[in-house]
Amino acid sequence: MTNLDEILQARRDTRHFTNDEVPDEVINKALQAGHWAPSVGLTDATKYYLIKSDEIKKAVKALFVDYDNKAANQTDNEQQKAAYKALKLEAIEEAPLGLVICYDRSVLNNFTIGTVGSNESIKFSAVCAAQNIWLSLTEQGFSMGWISILNYYQFKQLLGLPEHMEPLGYFCVGKPATNYDNQPMLQQLNWKQKSEFPFVEEIRILHPVAEIKRDKEINKDCSISLSEALQYKIDHKTKPTGALGVLEKLAKQIGELFQTLKPKIILPHIVVFAADHGIAQHGVSAYPQDVTRQMVSNFLEGGAAINVFCKQNNINLSIVDAGVNYDFPPNAKLVSAKIDKGTKSFIAGPAMSKMQMELCFTKGSEIVKTIAKSGSNCVGFGEMGIGNTSTASVLMSVLCGFPIEDCVGRGTGVNDEKLIEKQMTLKKALDNYSGLLDLDSQLAYFGGFEILQMAAGMLEAYENRMLILVDGFICSVAFLVASKKNPLIIKNAVFSHQSAEQAHGKLLDYLEASAILKLDLRLGEGTGCAIVFPIIESAVAFLNEMASFESAGVSSK
């Protein structure tokens, strides 16, 4: 087939293949055609992976079958469901060659021409490459089928693709066994008919863009332009300049984070990470270690403060077993990310191994990545773990260079005598440390499973441009850890409250941050995040809905 019009009209999505192998020269020519496709800013973001292994094909097929069943159950029309199940929507195991076309998000870490308006442009380039590959294969007498009915998160895991590599789907490649009467199979089977001609309409009317007026020329740099536009919008609401105080700062921060003049909080989520600590064996808490397990059960049953406040404010809640000293029965409401049954005491040795520390970052990242994939753009962090104020205090002392006495508080409510004993115990642990001074070595030696998983989750939230709600002292220490790995994360953070833990104010000063509330809270669980959330919604609401002087006809003088 050599006529371009004939190729373009030919059946695109093949589901029936012969057993003929795909010669190397055929696929290489097709991939070269893909490489010649338009690439925004010449990013070379499109990457290709070939699959010939029957074992891998079988595993991909299982992913397809799982999601295909979910797709069939989306309709209550039994006739339509039966017709859907009768369709052949893939040829993963039958096709001699599998192809995964990906786009590499890591190219966006550098200045990239053509992506300022939308990072999606690198995805569009990959789709252009897929089209070129199909054209080349068709011209050579072969064809391709595009499989997108997959759990993409599991698909990437199964193939071992790095986090920054995003697949368009799985493509079946081979010699077509039928031409489907030169029409799409869905059309041939009367599932859906393709219109004969494309939709085309000439736009003749120029529509006005947002009604922002500026008294001075805005710098053409996009980030500065948006910042000034947000400030102009805030200052020209029907109020004296600065009259809404912290709400104005929040509104501007959220607008800049979401890169819009009309930000919206979508599917807010709070995650409570729970774990036990070996240091609790040394009497640093007013409560026994088993309270961690008891409180996790309370969370799952909906009886804790965080449950009440999340329900009140319509916030999704997840509970994570990061390392509780207990084997919970299977429970759909509990996210299992257990590293071990609590850390070891760091009085005379490391709390965890380097491998366990790295696993904390992997699991914490995965949990928040799943939340981001649900569409959420706002995530709050909470914790539960008897002994974790001691762990947090030591981490603060090590990472900030403060004396341990400045970092230790009453935690769950120890008395004066216990407080002095707690200080001495933690000072002994610090004096005993003779390990390396790099960050990861210190985190493995003094860290807590839930604290490190929270830090990882915060870093993942930053990567997904999510608003990060930080709870009290322990969560702020997790944020401290995250900020040591990426200082830019501060742009995403809202510190919900300054807790009654005496070191929290000093830590916030170190982070050059201020909390929204000061209510003498010291409960943890993410309660501060849930309580502050209505204030965040108020900041967004006034920015989006409050009238300007111009629209209300009110004098600004």
Closest among 55, 53, 34 to 45, alpha carbons compared: 34
Count how many Cα atoms sit within 13 Å of the Cα of residue 331 in the half-sphere of its side chain: 17
Distances (CA, A) of 236 to 195, 208, 537, 554: 49, 20, 20, 10
Q: 177 by DSSP, 3-state: which?
A: coil
User: Taking the chain, what is the end-to-end CA distance rounded to the nearest angstrom?
Assistant: 73
Residue ranges of E strands in 141-280: 143-147, 165-174, 269-275
Coil, helix or strand for 372? Answer: helix
Q: What is the DSSP pairing of strand 97-104 with strand 165-174?
A: antiparallel
- CB-based contact 273:306 (threshold 8 Å): no
Catalytic residue ranges = 525
Phi then psi dihedrals of residue 216, to 5 deg: -140, 160
Separation between Cα atoms, residue 482 and residue 460, nearest integer Å? 10
Residue corresponding to tokens 């004939």: 6
Closest CA to 291 of 419, 385, 389: 385
| C-alpha–C-alpha distance, residues 399 and 117, integer Å | 38
The residues pairing with 17 across neighbouring beta strands, listed in sequence order, are 176
Under DSSP, is residue 470 helix (H, G, I), strand (E, B) or coil? strand
Give Dmax (Cα) for the chain. Answer: 89
CA 321 to chain centre: 19
Between helix 473-485 and helix 449-463 the angle, nearest 10°, is: 60
3-state secondary structure 490-519: HHHEEECECCCCHHHHHHHHHCCCCCCECC
Four-point Cα dihedral 212, 217, 223, 224, nearest 10: -110
CB 384, CB 447: distance < 8 Å: no
Q: Pick from 425, 441, 369: which is nearest to 393 by CA?
A: 425
Question: How far is Cα 517 from Cα 528, in angstroms, rounded to an integer?
Answer: 8
Token pair, residue 392, equals: 């947090």
